[in-house]
Structure 1
Amino acid sequence: MPLRLVFVTVAAFAALITQFFIQHSDRLPETDLASWIGPTPAPIAGVASVIDGDTIEIHGQRIRFTGIDAPESRQYCDDAKGFEYPCGRRSAEALDSFLSASKPVQCTFVSWDSYGRFVGDCRRADGGGVASWMVEHGQALDWPRYSRGAYAEQQAKAQAAKTGLWAGTFQAPWDWRANHADYAQPAISKPLGIVGSGQVAQGYSCQPRRTCSQISSCDEAQWYLSNCPWGRKLDRDGDGMACETLC
């Protein structure tokens, strides 16, 4: 085969591959052409800030856990009694508690996603796998489209035990996002203000219903947002922060 024809064939093939990634980048959140041709980033380690149940931030770098999907910060689910609760924030709180028990977190690079986030396999200082723990405790789902069933066993355990999300009914996060096209993209979301369980001792209650003018502190507002069916009314712009004038 003439050398010129070889070059033309290779160039045409490369163009087709590039066009494919451009056209399908929105369907490939854990695949980016840069991860194929660029240098592999070094592992990132440090104290993590929780963005939501499947995303953290370390040293200013957003990191998405590979192979799982957790409820979005604005997502609500139904508990075992059919009452609505903020499952997105509950998932984030569970993640925060898990990470706080053994610091720092170290994340090994897997790929870049279409939002520019580092997609990684993250572990606590004691070696505990973050993604597997979240799925096994019903706070996130195995995402077979990208995990190839890596967490199917953990999910089966959570479902059988009816723990976390599996205690009630919920919409898979990927379906929830598809039905909420106006939801803010991950690249501009803010770290969540995680509410500690110790605040329950302050005597907060979901009854009676309150407005921001009747709430005295940021911590109190965040507790209502996380625990009360009407709490999301306190977060008018949907950024995960209730009664921002108090915070």
Structure 2
Amino acid sequence: MLALVVARVDRAAMRQVSGAVFVNDGDTITLAGERIRLRGIDAPEYAQACQLHGGDYACGLRAREALVALIAGKAVTCEGGERDRYGRLLAVCRAGDVDLNRALVEAGWAVAYGGYEDAERTARERGRGIWAGTFERPRDWRDRHGGLAEPRPECQGGFYDWLQELLRFW
């Protein structure tokens, strides 16, 4: 019983994670086996399309590519303490000296979601990223399309998913 209590307290404590990174989409990474949601931002979902010059383009894929470019082989560290309803650690992440959360919003590949409103305002005024055209807010897109749609690392699936679900309920 004590082990379960300690596990619950540990999940709520501030965590710092670093290691090998997989970019799931524009605001979610898997770092050292831990799924992490970049706190305070909301990027287009991986399968989401936006409009530019009268046509659709894969803005969700472009947001993911922007995050990949920001990381560009640098060491990534994340710090956070809370989890979202999908069990992902909510964190501020850095690649070297770059605050990835802020940089994505400044580049226009994510909207502010409880933080970084100044960066969103600048991106909107300068027509950067998704602000160059029209788009549906990622939250609204998820509501219409039934939730998350992100690619997953090759190592996930089967036993790994079962274990993650089990740990979410502890």
Bin for the TM-score computed over the shorter chain: 0.7 to 0.9
Q: Give, as a single letter, the amino acid of the residue that structure 1 aligns with 2:34.
A: Q
Q: Which runs of 4+ in 1 moved over 6 A?
A: none
Q: Once the 2 structures are TM-superposed, how far is the Cα of residue 191 of structure 1 from its aligned partner?
A: 4.1
RMSD: 1.9
Bigger radius of gyration among the two: 1
1:61 to 34, 38, 53: 34
Aligned residues: 146
State the Cα deviation string for residues 115-150 of structure 1 (Å, max 9, x = none): 11111111112x21011000000000001xxx2xx2
Q: Does 1:174 align with 2:139?
A: yes
User: What is aligned with 2:62?
Assistant: 90
Give the helix-richer structure, 1 or 2. 1
Structure 2 match to 1:70: 43
CA distance in 2 between partners of 1:67 and 1:184 (Å):
17
Give the aligned partner of residue 22 of structure 1.
Answer: none
Quote the offset at 1:38 in angstroms.
1.5
Cα deviations across residues 205-246 of structure 1 (Å, max 9, x unaligned)? xxxxxxxxxxxxxxxxxxxxxxxxxxxxxxxxxxxxxxxxxx
Q: 2:125 aligns with which of 128, 135, 160?
A: 160
C-alpha displacement at 1:110, in angstroms?
3.1
Q: Which has the higher contact order (CA 8 A, sep 6+)?
A: 2
Which structure has greater strand proportion?
2
Structure 1 segments unaligned to the other structure (5+ residues): 1-33, 193-247
Code of the residue aligned with 2:106 in structure 1: it is E
The two structures have a TM-score, normalised by structure 1, of 0.56
- Post-superposition CA distance 1:68-119 (Å, at most 9, x none): 100001100001x121000000000010000116x11100013111111111
- Relative to the length of structure 2, the TM-score reads 0.80
CA distance in 2, matches of 1:185, 1:98: 22
1:108 aligns with 2:79: yes
Equivalent residue number for residue 134 of structure 1: 104
